[in-house]
Amino acid sequence: MNGQAGKVRVAVVFGGRSAEHAISCVSAGSVMAALDPERYEVVPVGIAKDGRWVLADPGQQLAITDGALPEVAGGTAVSLVGDPEGRGLAVLDPGQAVGRALTEVDVVFPVLHGAYGEDGTIQGLLEMTGLPYVGSGVFASAASMDKEFTKKLLAAAGLPQGDHVVLRDADGAISADPDVLDDAARDRLGLPVFVKPARAGSSIGITRVTDWSQFPAAVAEAAAVDEKVIVEAAVPGREIECGVLAARGTGLPEASLPAEIRLRDGVDWYDFAAKYLDDAAEFDIPADLTPEQTAAVQAAARRAYLALDCRGLARVDFFLGTGEDGEDLLVINEVNTMPGFTPISMFARMWAATGVDFAELVDRLVSGALAPR
Ligand SMILES: Nc1ncnc2c1ncn2[C@@H]1O[C@H](COP(=O)(O)OP(=O)(O)O)[C@@H](O)[C@H]1O
Ligand SMILES: [Mg+2]
């Protein structure tokens, strides 16, 4: 172990270039506070919104205070050494091509959401360094970030999902005419449809289209976020989430008790404002489900985790509707490989309701990353 007095040295990486920068800071603050100081030495590494890496001040305020969102600002510039001999971080001195070695770390916890964090990019960098890290690897992260490939892999595993069409901006097709869906597809999908950037999060760039006249503007908005756009039939039903965590020792996925997001009357869908700003949703943790429904959600969550080759943790989001004969229709919406990670986030609260508290959650993830694979 490289830390003081035999402690495990954990680099917690947070902030980042995505729209979820502030949420990542809050998540990281919680993770760092939960790492047992008797066993772990924390090295806080912030990634500023412009992509600069800095050694953050351990005392930095990372909570939301008086409505002000935390942000990675200044600090000593550091860099992750890609050469596995480096095993860690180097300080970048101005004018020097290669910085002096700062510290060797044992394990990295990338508490990053969205692009450059949850999409396989930092995971690729960490693979190059040879450092173990918490969470899914390159492939699972990239596949789960991409709503098209998530659906393809879930379909291959026989897991249920909603009808959809993928639009690509090949040869500028979308930019030239965002009204790109043919009549057959319109008839098949019906209204409303959800128009989404294929790789985004926090509901950014998503429009719920209730009239085809709104469709071109919705496609243009999604295409401004990602060149690939996905058009989904609306799936009626309750919004249910389930946490998945690798078991100690075996690494096999275990599922938490599911939770339900109940939107208040008049709120049609879980958009950005409903997620972070308005008091638009209520959470039932655990969800009010029959034992059979709970078991079905948990089994599907574990299968989705395996289908996407996830590691460590995931949050699997569902719609639970009712079929023509009154039977349950369970549909997977998406898989998040680094869900919001504060003690009040759904993931942590679902595990708390299942008997795994926040410190145990963090400890399981870090020790799981260090376990030989
Ligand atoms: N096909 C769909 N049918 C019904 N509601 C949907 C559908 N897709 C998305 N939604 C609503 O939009 C929200 C955000 O969509 P989601 O695909 O989860 O995006 P993000 O990755 O940004 O969280 C969901 O939580 C849900 O309320
Ligand atoms: Mg979602």
How far is it, in rounded angstroms, from Cα 285 to Cα 260? 7
Supply the pLDDT for residue 86: 65
Band (93; pLDDT cuts 50, 70, 90): low
CB 150 near ligand 1, within 6 Å: no
Residue nearest ligand 1's atom 2 by CA = 234
Selected catalytic residue, list 24, 141, 256, 345: 345
How far is it, in rounded angstroms, from Cα 172 to Cα 178? 10
127 given a catalytic annotation:
no
Ligand 2 centre to CA of 272 (Å) is 10
Residues near 98 by beta carbon (within 8 Å), at least 6 away in sequence: 90
Question: Is 171 within any annotated ligand binding site?
Answer: no
The three-state DSSP-derived secondary structure of 190-217 is CCCEEEEECCCCCCCCCEEECCHHHHHH
144 given a catalytic annotation:
no
Structure tokens at 56: 């953050």
Selected catalytic residue, list 18, 20, 136, 256: 20
Residue 279 CB-half CA count within 13 A: 0
Residue entry with tokens 């008049």: 266
How far is it, in rounded angstroms, from Cα 364 to Cα 214? 46
Looking at the CA of 237, name the nearest ligand: 1
Supply the pLDDT for residue 100: 45
Element (H, E) at 8: strand 8-15
Ligand 2 centre to CA of 339 (Å) is 10
- Sign of the Cα torsion 301, 324, 158, 296 reads positive
CB 226 near ligand 1, within 6 Å: no
* Range 154-161 average pLDDT: 96
Least confident of 17-26, 305-314, 345-354: 17-26
Least confident of 46-50, 330-334, 348-352: 46-50
* Range 200-228 average pLDDT: 94
202 given a catalytic annotation:
yes
| Phi–psi pair at 369, nearest 5 degrees | -65, -30
Instruction: Please state, as a whole number, how many other Cβ atoms lie within 10 Å of the Cβ of residue 272.
Output: 15
Structure tokens at 162: 């909603």
Report the percentage of the chain scoring pLDDT > 90. 69
Which atom of ligand 1 is nearest to 201's Cα?
22
DSSP-assigned states of every residue in 302-334 = HHHHHHTT--SEEEEEEEEEE-TTS-EEEEEEE
How far is it, in rounded angstroms, from Cα 158 to Cα 143? 17
Q: Which domains does the chain have, with CATH numbers?
A: 4-133 (3.40.50.20), 144-161+236-370 (3.30.470.20), 164-233 (3.30.1490.20)
How far is it, in rounded angstroms, from Cα 346 to Cα 349? 5
Least confident of 45-49, 99-103, 360-364: 99-103
Nearest to 118 by CA among 147, 96, 90, 93: 147
Supply the pLDDT for residue 97: 44
Looking at the CA of 231, name the nearest ligand: 1
Supply the pLDDT for residue 124: 94
